[in-house]
Amino acid sequence: MIAVTGHYMSYTFFAVIVRDVVGVRGPGIAWLLATYGIAGLLAIPLVARPMDQWPRAATISCMAALYMTFLVLTALALHRLPPTATALIGIIAIALWGGSANAVSPMLQSAAMRAGANDPDGASGLYMAAFQIGIMAGSFAGGLFYEHGMLMMLAASATLIGVGAAGMAIERQLFDVPTADRP
């Protein structure tokens, strides 16, 4: 839920980020949102097999990519580059954001369902409820941080996503499937 909150702090202001950080305006914002979605559609089948074979490594890799994306967007908000370079780097970052954010969500839901193998519907429902709380908290917190500036909001997003990724990396049993003899 920490990473979801971090993600939605910024996703709430997607159009503002594209306009003010990446430098794309007008209809280009819609094209970048489409790029975000297409990247997500392409990423999900690319990570499906690694998720089945190496769920921990696949999920942490996607979280690391999401974290790096927000570091790049934060750096673009902090440092002014030539407009063409900013747009190119920003477009790549938006595509990576879409791919990693959209791939990690089903990975985490699968992990929740495997962990709750005795009640996968309940585990899935709990995951979805936590995800919705993360969306709400992220949107709310994003608004509060945005009042202090784009840089503050992007840095806060990066921080929460990094904390979420670190927590997943530290927790060794997060992706284990419980066995009948182990609760």
- Cβ atoms within 10 Å, residue 176: 14
Angle between helices 55-78 and 2-11 (to 10 degrees): 40
Instruction: Quick: pLDDT tens for 42-58.
Output: 998 898 888 878 888 88
Instruction: Give one word for 130, left, alpha or beta, with left for phi > 0 and alpha for psi -120 to 50.
Output: alpha
Question: How confident is residue 177, by pLDDT bands cut at 50, 70 and 90?
Answer: low
CB 66 within 8 A of CB 101: yes
Question: How confident is residue 178, by pLDDT bands cut at 50, 70 and 90?
Answer: low
- Alpha-carbon distance of 89 to 73, in angstroms, equals 9
CB 119 within 8 A of CB 178: no
- What is the pLDDT, as a whole number, of residue 160? 96
Q: Which CATH architecture has domain 2-170?
A: Up-down Bundle (1.20)
3-state class (DSSP) for residue 159? helix
More confident residue, 116 or 49: 49
Average pLDDT, the chain: 90
